[in-house]
Amino acid sequence: MMVASRIDKLTRSGIRRVMQLSADAERAGKTVIHMEVGQPDFPTPVHIQQAAEKAITEGKTGYTACAGILELREAVATRISTRTKIPIDAKNVCVTSGAVNAISLALSSVLEPNDEVLVPDPGWPNYHSAVLLAGGKSIAYPLVADKDYQPDFVELEKLVTPRTKIIFVNTPGNPTGVSWTVEVLKRVADFAERHNILIISDEVYEDMVFSGRHVSMLEVAPKERVLLVSGVSKSYAMTGWRIGWLVASPEIVEAAAALVEPMTTCPPAPSQYGAVAALTGPQDSVDHMRATYKERLAEIEPQLLEAGVLVARPSGGFFAMLDISGCGMTSDTFVERLLHEKGVAVAPGATFGPSAENCVRISFATNTVSLKSGVEKILSFIAEARAAQHPR
C-alpha cells in the first residue's frame, strides 16, 4: 500500500498519544487522573440536546447548504455583530464541521503553494498540519514565556518574507491559557497591515475569559483582513457535535463553501439546529462553566505559584503550563513516567512547539477533587525528579 509522503510530515499530537497510554493503563486496572484532555467535563445543556432531538423528530436529517443552514449563519452573525459592534451578515459566515475544519477551509481558500504562515510557538499543533495539507509552509514565531506568552515582535519581524501570507492568533491561548492584551492585538493588526498579510484569529475560548471581556481581533483590525474561527465546542460543551464557523469576506466564505462540498458535503444537520439553540437560547450554562473553571484555577494556583512551576497565570480557557526544567528528562519522558508512577495524565510541552520542551500542559477541565490530587502528585513528582538530579 502506497501512502502519501506528506502524511509523514504531519505534526502528530502528543496529546492523543497520552490519551492512548492512559486508556491502556486504565484497561490494565490502573486509576488515572485525567488532566491531558482539552474538552469541557460538563454535559451539553439540555435545551441544546432537545433542539437537536426535535430536529431529528421533524426529519431535519438530510443535507443542508454547504455553508450551513441560514438560521445558524444568521445566529453567528448576530452573535459577533453584537459582541464586536462590527457589522457581520450571514454572507460572512460559513458553518463548518468543527473549528478545526474552519481552519483548514480558511487556509485552503487563500493559500497558494509554498505560501508561508506564521504560527505561534507554543501553540496548538494542528495549525502546522493544517498549513501543510493546504500546501503552505508553517513558520513558528515565538511567544515569550516570562512575558506572559506575548509575541516577540522583534523576532516576528525577522520572519517575514515575500511569501508570508497569514499569521495565526489564538487568544485565550492553547496551551498557555493566556489572553493577549488589547495593545498586543493592535500591534498584531498593525504588523499585518504593514506587511499585507491576513490574520486567522482562533477564538474558540472566547467565552472562557476570567476577568473583563474577550476582545476579538475584528475589533482592532480591518474586517477584510481577519478570518475569524470559533465554534460551540468549548463554550457549550459540544466537542462531539462538530460545529464551528469561519467568518470572513463573502469571497472567502464562498471559496470555503466550495471546498466543503467535496470534503464534507455539509456540517451535520441535527448538530446545526442544536447550535442555533446554543447561540440563541439561555447562556447561564456558559456562565456556570466559566465560573467553575475560574474557581478550579483558584484552588490550585496558590500551590503552583508557591512551588514556582506556573509559567504564566492563566486568564482564560482551562489550561496552564507548568515548568519541569531541572527534572533531567524530556517532556515526553516526564509525561510517560508521571502516568506510570503517579497515575496522572498531562500533555507534553514538546507537542506545542520547541520552546515548550521544558513544560507540560495541564487541563483543569476536571472535577476539583481529582484536580487537587493531580496537582499534588505532579508537584511531588517534580520535586523527586529534581532531587534525583542533585543527590546529596
Tally Cβ neighbours within 10 Å of residue 12.
Answer: 11
CATH architecture of 46-280: 3-Layer(aba) Sandwich (3.40)
Would you say 200 and 248 are in contact if contact means Cβ atoms under 8 Å apart? Answer: no
Contacts of 105 (CB under 8 A, 6+ apart): 94, 96, 246, 256, 259, 260, 263
Q: Report which of 319, 355, 389, 342 is spatially closest to residue 15, judged by C-alpha positions.
A: 319
**pLDDT of 12 higher than 90:** no
Bridge pairing between strands 359-363 and 319-323: antiparallel
98 in the Ramachandran plot: left (φ > 0), alpha (ψ -120 to 50) or beta? left
Name the residue among 292, 286, 293 with its Cα closest to residue 362.
Answer: 293
Q: What DSSP string describes 31-66?
A: --EE----S-SSPPPHHHHHHHHHHHHTT--S---T
Residue 323 β-bridge partners = 359
Sign of CA dihedral 308, 311, 313, 314: negative
Cα–Cα distance measured from residue 242 to residue 325, given in angstroms and rounded to the nearest whole number? 37
E-strand spans in 155-310?
Answer: 164-170, 198-202, 226-231, 244-247
All structural domains of the chain with their residue ranges: 5-43+284-386, 46-280
Average pLDDT value for residue range 18-32:
95
Our measurement of the distance from residue 136's CA atom to the centroid of its chain's CA atoms, rounded to an integer in Å, reads 20
The rounded distance, in Å, linking the Cα atoms of 242 and 39 is: 13
In angstroms, the CA 33 to CA 342 distance is 9
pLDDT at 86 > cutoff 90:
yes
Q: Region 133-146: what's the mean pLDDT?
A: 97
**pLDDT greater than 90 at residue 9:** no
Average pLDDT along the chain = 97
| Per-residue model confidence as pLDDT tens digits over 260-278 | 999 999 999 999 999 999 9
pLDDT at 38: 85
Three-state SS annotation for 71-126: HHHHHHHHHHHHHHCCCCCHHHEEEECCHHHHHHHHHHHHCCCCCEEEEEECCCCH
Q: What is the pLDDT of residue 13?
A: 81
Burial profile 44-77: b = 16 or more Cβ within 10 angstroms, e = fewer: bbeebeebbeebeeeeeeeebebbbbeebbbbbb
Q: Do 306 and 140 contact (CB within 8 A), yes or no?
A: no
Supply 54's cell numbers. Answer: 426535535
What confidence score (pLDDT) does residue 350 get? Answer: 97
> Please, is 287 exposed, middle or buried when counting C-beta atoms within 10 Å of its C-beta (0-12, 13-18, 19+)?
exposed
Tell me the average pLDDT across 118-142: 97
DSSP 164: E
Element (H, E) at 131: helix 126-133
Q: Does domain 5-43+284-386 have CATH number 3.40.50.720?
A: no
Residue 1 pLDDT: 63
Exposed (0-12), middle (13-18) or buried (19+): which is 314, by Cβ within 10 Å?
buried
pTM beyond cutoff 0.85: yes
Same fold yes or no, 5-43+284-386 and 46-280: no
Q: How confident is the model at residue 375 (pLDDT cuts 50, 70, 90)?
A: very high
pLDDT value of position 37: 86
Check if the beta carbon of residue 333 is closer than 8 Å to that of residue 357: no
How many CB atoms neighbour CB 147 within 10 A? Answer: 12
- Per the CB < 8 A criterion, the answer to whether 319 and 282 are in contact is no
Q: pLDDT, tens digit, for every residue of 320-361? A: 999 999 999 999 999 999 999 999 999 999 999 999 999 999
Pairing of strands 137-144, 150-151: antiparallel
Q: 197-229, pLDDT tens digit by residue?
A: 999 999 999 999 999 999 999 999 999 999 999
The DSSP call for residue 27 is H
Cα–Cα distance between 207 and 290 in angstroms, integer?
Answer: 7
Q: Residue 391: its pLDDT value, please?
A: 78
